[in-house]
Structure 1
């Protein structure tokens, strides 16, 4: 789609997803960003996201000179509008549109009445429509004609307004992984004794006792006596062999599985990835498959790594990030409580990591094992209340997840 001859002025703030949506919606040839000193970096990130969008590669994105703009008083704001912004606008094509989503109240008043705008816009976070109005002699008059169709913003674009998105560490789960993940989910929900026995042994070797010398091997061979309900364990071992029969094998006498030795060879690294998937990655795949039923692929990301522009060593990875109805959601997914972590640690970890992604909603999704432990110790309701008090939604199945997202 071609760009439209107009100049679109946006006031930049800390949270600029609504600005990005509005600009993509109206497709102006020229964009002028107003950013006071505190938001210069945010304006540059907004500019980068616009120019990285193929349809906007030729858009002229200008950062207005705000050296003398504080924006905290009406007098200062009016002076800047008349002596800096208006001369800039006179050099660029009409019509001129103003987006007031960001900025201070004094600056908003100075902008509204300091220039003859074709239209003024306001785009609230999470609201799909752009509110449009004009300034008349009787004051603001709301326009009721329909806005252009709101574009689809990708999750990478939304995250890029706050930090730098790196390559995904993993792609969307394969059909086989999703199938096996759903089987594991159903097995744990139904409290299958064979799966419970297998997970108990794997958790002990790979997590609780992983540093013990006897488990520091490339492969570990266990007698069947290590398991309970052995007849029910066999089908689960057979299922896991589909992910790599060179890593899981069993005979009439023993079971062989990956050990905890440092991964050096390609095969050992594959075994480490398989261990990670069995330890909890499978639950991420379950949640991802549920989300993909309602969320477009471009607005859903699994294991996306990011870093901030001012600290190249601050890489973080989010289990799942998604953009839904103009809101960025950050999800932490836990199949069980990791060693040396407490329940408050889970909530604190999510709240801390979510800060880098801007104005977000947060979900902590726990698997059947962890939920059953909480219920058994009468801690579930209190932990759910703690999460709610810290603006984190606790989810534990498909229904609670869909309810949180409103799908």
Structure 2
């Protein structure tokens, strides 16, 4: 798509998502960033410029500056002086002077916007009301301070969740999807696991109890530190000579999903051991990761896409930080959702880690919120979390989440509500197309 011959002026701050989405809609040939000396505004401008050049090929990004007159931005009179001595001469350059001049007045301080409105003549003003998904176009009939003229509104071009992450972080990476997500059986099994945990299925509980004993409680034991374990039924079931029918149903379901690293026989079971850590360790690691947490993340992703969210609205395993080479600055969001101009960080928990206090689960998602701009926070917990806590512990935990503006979600309906998506009625089980699970 071609760019529009337009000078589009945006004021930078620590929250530049409305300006970014407006640029995607307007597709201006020239974007002028007004950047104060505020550190967060400086960083935001760098991210904005990089994204503009990536996503709008051919755009020219301008950043007027003066070594002798920095822009404070919080004083209308000093801002007006900066506009007269720095911005206006810059806009008078031949490459810009003959193009229409529009101001996006969504961001920045009120003092900065007052100076801009009273100092510079604009052909149009753009403004995005909070959580509206619309950019409002306003015309100035004659000179600044003349009566405002309503010119309607247009639906914004929504940014992708990945762009939101890049806009607020110097270093962003996205985790490689678990290869099991590409197997159709995984989606159906994830839904069955959720229903089984909800209904307290004894066979499912028995399987997870055995896996917990091997993979979590026994993580430090040498006999389990192998890529693959070949166990007799008494070893796997702590004395039981053979699985009962309820347990066997679940063991066979996992075997159908990943027969190359999970097999059952009359004498016992072969399954991944503790030498593999995660999905980067081959299929054995992929299955171990999927059974411990991946099934729940997959089901959450499928619920979101099944409710009508675009694929680009959801990013999985987002690592955001300040430095690519310094992992200590990075934090991971299980799901980052940007839908209808609303960004939500979703932490997904199957059950508390050994020794983990309930409040630490809330701390994890709250600590992520400022890594991705102005966000909502959500914590999606499986039925195991409520079952692991006593009634009073759960009540205190839920109250803590409410006090810290964390939406506590336990199922599809509450997850969709947390991200601002109306629940959709599903007439058939959701499938997981290959493209929907790409990070």
Is 1:118 aligned with 2:127?
Answer: no
Shift, 1:26, TM fit: 1.3
Shift, 1:305, TM fit: 2.8
- Specify whether residues 350 and 66 from structure 1 end up closer, same or farther in structure 2 by C-alpha distance, changes over 3 A only: farther
Q: TM-score, normalised by structure 1?
A: 0.92
Moved more, 35-44 or 389-398: 35-44
Distance 1:181 1:140 in 2: 60
Q: Kindly provide the CA deviation profile for residues 65-115 of structure 1, in whole angstroms up to 9, marking residues without a partner as x.
A: 154211222221111111111111112133111112222222211110101
1:147 alignment counterpart = 153
Shift, 1:205, TM fit: 1.1
Shift, 1:254, TM fit: 2.0
2:194 alignment counterpart = 185
2:44 alignment counterpart = 42
Shift, 1:262, TM fit: 5.2
- Specify whether residues 147 and 370 from structure 1 end up closer, same or farther in structure 2 by C-alpha distance, changes over 3 A only: same
1:240 alignment counterpart = 254
Alignment partner of 1:349 out of 354, 357, 364 = 364
Shift, 1:324, TM fit: 0.9
Contact 1:17-1:125 at 8 Å conserved across structures: no
- Specify whether residues 4 and 219 from structure 1 end up closer, same or farther in structure 2 by C-alpha distance, changes over 3 A only: closer
Contact 2:296-2:350 at 8 Å conserved across structures: yes
Counting only pairs closer than 5 Å after superposition, residues 11-50 of structure 1 correspond to structure 2 as 11-37=11-37, 38=39, 39-50=41-52
Moved more, 151-160 or 141-150: 141-150
Alignment partner of 1:389 out of 392, 398, 403 = 403
1:331 alignment counterpart = 346
Q: TM-score, normalised by structure 2?
A: 0.86
- Supply the RMSD in Å over aligned alpha carbons: 2.3
Secondary structure at the aligned position of 1:117 is classed as coil
1:210 alignment counterpart = 219
- Specify whether residues 143 and 379 from structure 1 end up closer, same or farther in structure 2 by C-alpha distance, changes over 3 A only: farther
Shift, 1:309, TM fit: 4.4
1:160 alignment counterpart = 166
Counting only pairs closer than 5 Å after superposition, residues 172-321 of structure 1 correspond to structure 2 as 173-174=181-182, 175-220=184-229, 221-224=231-234, 225-226=237-238, 230-261=244-275, 269-293=282-306, 294-309=308-323, 312-313=326-327, 314-321=329-336
- Specify whether residues 214 and 25 from structure 1 end up closer, same or farther in structure 2 by C-alpha distance, changes over 3 A only: same
- Specify whether residues 141 and 308 from structure 1 end up closer, same or farther in structure 2 by C-alpha distance, changes over 3 A only: farther
Distance 1:309 1:223 in 2: 48
Distance 2:21 2:261 in 1: 47
Q: Kindly provide the CA deviation profile for residues 176-198 of structure 1, in whole angstroms up to 9, marking residues without a partner as x.
A: 22111111111111211101101
Secondary structure at the aligned position of 1:331 is classed as strand
Distance 2:195 2:74 in 1: 57
Distance 1:217 1:273 in 2: 15
Secondary structure at the aligned position of 1:363 is classed as strand
Shift, 1:267, TM fit: 10
Contact 1:134-1:140 at 8 Å conserved across structures: no
- Specify whether residues 111 and 295 from structure 1 end up closer, same or farther in structure 2 by C-alpha distance, changes over 3 A only: same
1:61 alignment counterpart = 61
- Specify whether residues 288 and 217 from structure 1 end up closer, same or farther in structure 2 by C-alpha distance, changes over 3 A only: same
**Count of aligned positions:** 403
- Specify whether residues 42 and 66 from structure 1 end up closer, same or farther in structure 2 by C-alpha distance, changes over 3 A only: farther
2:391 alignment counterpart = 377
Structure 1's unaligned 5+ residue stretches are none
Q: Kindly provide the CA deviation profile for residues 299-321 of structure 1, in whole angstroms up to 9, marking residues without a partner as x.
A: 11111333324864333322111
